[in-house]
Amino acid sequence: MADKNGFFDLSKTTLSRRTALKGIAAGAGLALAPGFVRYSQAQSSAPIRIGFQSHRTGIGAAYGRWYEKTSAAAVKAINDAGGISGRKVELVIEDDGTDPARGAEVVNKFAKQHKTDIVFGTLFSHVVIGSAPAAGENKIPYFVVSEGHHVASTKLNRYVFQPGITDVKSQIQSMAPWIAANAGKKVTQIFPDFAFGYDHRDYLPPALKAQGADVIAQIAIPPTESSFTKYFPQIPAETEVIYHVMVGPAVLTFVKELGEFYGSQRPQLFGFMDSLEAVDINSPGLEFLDGSHFWEGSPRYAQPDDSAAQKAYRAAVGIDDNGAAVGDPKDISTASHMFGCWETLYVVKKAMEDAGYKGPEDRAKLVEATEALKEFAEGPEHPQGPKTFNGKIHQCFGIQNISKVEGGKLKVVHKTKIEDGLYEPEGDYTTQAL
Amino acid sequence: MHFGPHLLLAVLEGLVTSAVLALTALGLSLVFGVMRIVNVAHGEFFMLGAVLAWAISTAISGHPAIGFVAALVIAPLLVGLVAFLAEWLVLRRLNYNPESTIVATIGMLYIIQQLALTFYGPEARPVEPPFSYRILLPWFGYSGYKLSVVAASTVLLVITWLVLTRTKIGLIMRATQYDRETAQAFGIPVERVYAGVFAIGAMLAAIAAVLIVPISQAHYLMGQDPLLLSFIVVIIGGLGSLRGTVVAAVLIGLSDGIISMFFSPTLAKIIATLVVAMVLVFRPQGLFGTAPR
């Protein structure tokens, strides 16, 4: 192609002295602008800036949107009550595309360019695993709301925390007794073929074994798959329970095709709510789910025994009694997970206030103060329920809900105890250097 | 499950994939055959069809079949209009230069995708099928709607073939494909043919998407897989060959269904890619393509 305008002709693009002077002048002007120096004079009154690594695009986008809504509501509540140590809180949002490589770039950007105080908010486990090294290198505390076991496994680093949502290993361990006792003893597992799914793959069989039940087949499905019928023949005929946990935009297809395949002659179903997050359980084709059971982190539907804190939390985030956005009944939330953003931000507030946190130079103090936390009482700051926190493995432990689909709603039929989900720590982050 | 029913299910699934793939790939093949343009944004026209189908079917109340039929008519027309405008605003200005149009259609891919994300959102949204009949076989149940997709797609393919071979429009398109300059010398308005072909190619993708959207929901990233598979099909079948496209679509669809059911979906993709490599090495013009003159 002819280069008519000479864009690629280097001889025409040499920097003239005039251009160079203009550039320098503009740069100096920016540096002198009032906004640029404001915070360096008044460190103590400047807002605390929280870098929010959000799944705005990619397979996690539906979660990302609700994580942002919940976090915005929590920040507003914190600011209305005086902020953190009297300083306002401000969210700086960057999209990671639900992609591990971009996740690491985003963490670097927060640390080096935005210079945020911490990084927060990641859900998808492969993004967390991909981003954690960047957080460690930059020595910036990284508070994830991911549910995976990777934080608690102590395979990441000292700067990564998960204080607002329980991990899969703990969830499985506390629910296995209920599954074995109420659903059936021969279990077939269907899970997404990446880190989060592997937690289910690895921890369910031993947990069920301890209860006298067996996993008879394990079916891994790529997270970007859009058609599922082809996997169902792998489900052994003697299966009593199908244990399903799927993620990504095709979850509704998955459940629908399962219904077409089995009709009313289905085995018992036990699903993680992940299989239906942001999806209306009354969507056409999902009728066969009636009577099946789901794990829920925090119940999607308002329950008769909801605490005042739970009600206040739902109102603040803007979800109605059916777990949909107020004013748009078709906009279903990711209620099972997003409460973790709310609770994590309150943990950050507590830890920063305990540490006397002033700015990025106090990040190490913040890590130690977070590790020193022991428990979080149920209340407006922790509406999902009480939690304990193990500072050695940077992971909280809490209650789980098992809900039954009844009349087009999810009704909580069983709540586990915190002790049900405790396990022996696999390591100790506090021995790592800061 | 025994081998027989297992194979039956694999074939059924494969046929549904083939049917949708044939329509989508045909659009891509037509655009390449006539215009010599590699349309990287083809998958996004597919996605746009699905997203519009959702918008139209939710806007129309009453029996789901009414909304679906409306979507089947209106969505492809709107997508065709978008493609027509894109052709006029972008591709024509580039004089259909093969290299520049690849870059331009990559740009279109991102623009359409991000507009869908902005205005439609990141959720996967369902469209209700026009009917939900579950065929009960002795071993498993199967969606009656899926089989109707195969039938509908076959009818559409036959119509396309008739239009291309039996009508004046088809003759003009084939003449343009055969030799652009001679066609122009005979008074064929080549630019208008190009605009029309680009719109029809996009509409075929949109129709395929409307048919598939009651099975798998509308999502702003759903255009990526069809694009990749369409390229595979078009390369194997021979660029610009209708017959080759259909044969390759059935081949890829069935092998995908059967291999992914008996072995693994990853193996199915590996084999499809390997076939593409082999075809490119031993028969670069594709199974049914004609060698360049």
- Please give the Cα distance from A43 to B13 (Å, whole number): 63
Give the other-Cβ count within 10 Å of A204's Cβ.
25
CATH number corresponding to A168-305+401-415 = 3.40.50.2300
Q: What percent of chain B has pLDDT over 90?
A: 52
| Chain A neighbors of B21, CB-CB under 8 A | none
Model confidence pLDDT, tens digit, residues B75-106: 999 999 999 999 999 999 999 998 999 999 99
**Which of chain B's residues have a Cβ under 8 Å away from the Cβ of A262?**
140-141
Q: Quick check: B4 pLDDT over 90?
A: no
Asked whether residue A419 carries a pLDDT value surpassing 90, the answer given is yes
What does the pLDDT look like over A202-249, one tens digit per residue?
999 999 999 999 999 999 988 778 888 888 888 998 999 999 998 877
> Which of residues A279 and B151 earns the better pLDDT score?
B151
Statement: residue A69 has pLDDT above 70: yes
Q: Spell out the residues 6+ positions from residue A345 whose beta carbon is closer than 8 angstroms to its own.
A: A50, A71, A74, A75, A78, A89, A120, A164
A89-95 vs A118-120, strand pairing mode: unpaired
Q: Taking CB atoms and an 8 Å cutoff, what residues of chain B touch A99?
A: none
pLDDT in tens, B204-231: 999 999 999 998 889 888 998 899 999 9
Give the pLDDT of residue B149: 94
- Using CB atoms, pick whichever of A1, A249, A263 lies closest to residue B124: A249
How far is the alpha carbon of B50 from chain A, nearest alpha carbon, in Å?
14
Helix (H, G, I), strand (E, B) or coil at B45: helix
Residue A90: name the closest of A55, A60, A47 by CA. A47
Q: Do B123 and A61 touch (CB under 8 A)?
A: yes
To the nearest whole Å, the CA of B165 is away from the closest chain A CA by 35
Q: Do B100 and A1 touch (CB under 8 A)?
A: yes
Determine the pLDDT at residue B216: 85
Whole-model pTM: value is 0.79
- A312-352, pLDDT tens digit by residue? 999 999 999 999 999 999 889 999 999 999 999 999 999 99
Q: In A, which residues are within 8 Å of B117 by CB distance?
A: 57, 61
Mark yes or no for CB contact A253/B64 under 8 Å: no
Q: A395 versus B3: which is more confidently predicted? A: A395
CATH T-level topology, domain A44-167+339-398+423-431? Rossmann fold (3.40.50)
Grade residue A135 by pLDDT with cuts at 50, 70 and 90: very high
When pLDDT is averaged across residues A287-306 and rounded to a whole number, the result is 92
Contact between B216 and A250 using a beta-carbon 8 Å cutoff:
yes
Q: What digits encode the pLDDT tens for the residues A16-46?
A: 556 556 655 655 555 445 444 444 444 567 9
| Mean per-residue pLDDT of chain A | 89
Residue B140 has pLDDT above 90, yes or no: no
pLDDT in tens, B238-292: 877 888 999 999 999 998 888 888 887 788 888 888 988 999 899 888 888 765 5
Decide if pLDDT at A271 tops 60: yes
Of A164, A165, A153, A162, give the one whose Cα is nearest residue A202: A153
Residue A152 confidence (pLDDT): 95
> For the structural domain made of B3-282, what CATH number should be given?
1.10.3470
Considering only CB atoms, B141 lies closest to which of A56, A249, A262, namely: A262
**Interatomic CA distance for residues A413 and B86, integer angstroms:** 55
Has residue A375 got a pLDDT over 50? yes
Is there a contact between A226 and B216 if contact means CB atoms under 8 Å apart? yes
* CA pair distance B113, A84, nearest whole angstrom: 39
Domain extent listing, chain B: 3-282
Tell which wins on pLDDT, A114 or B272: A114
What are the structure tokens assigned to A36, written together? 């640029």
**Mean pLDDT along residues B23-32:** 92
Q: How far is B132 from chain A (nearest CA, A)?
A: 8
Residue A150's pLDDT is what? 93
Phi, psi (rounded to 5 degrees) for B280: -65, -35
The one-character DSSP state at B290 is P
Verify whether the Cβ–Cβ distance B141 to A263 is below 8 Å. yes
Given a cut of 80, is residue A5 above it in pLDDT? no
CB contact under 8 A, A61 and B122: yes
Query: Which residue(s) pair with B190 in the sheet?
Result: none
pLDDT tens per residue across span A166-211: 999 999 999 999 999 999 999 999 999 888 899 999 999 999 999 9
Spatial CB neighbours of B207, under 8 Å, sequence gap ≥ 6: B23, B49, B72, B76, B156
Cα–Cα distance for residue pair B165/B247, rounded to 1 Å: 18
The alpha carbon of residue A76 is apart from the nearest alpha carbon of chain B, in Å, by 24
3-state secondary structure A83-117: CECCECEEEEEEECCCCHHHHHHHHHHHHHHHCCC
Q: Please indicate whether the domains covering A44-167+339-398+423-431 and A168-305+401-415 agree at the CATH topology level.
A: yes
Residue B33 sits at the chain A interface (C-beta within 8 Å): no
CA distances from A148 to A195, A205, A228 (A): 8, 17, 24
At A73, is the secondary structure helix, strand, or coil?
Answer: helix
Q: Kindly state the average pLDDT of the residues A50-67.
A: 92
Q: Are B227 and B42 in contact (CB under 8 A)?
A: yes
Query: Which residues in chain A are contacts of B99 at CB distance < 8 A?
Result: 1
Q: How high is the pLDDT of residue A250?
A: 79
Task: Kindly list the distances between the CA atom of residue A230 and the CA atoms of A154, A243, B16, B213, B214, in Å, as whole numbers in the listed order.
Answer: 37, 17, 12, 18, 18
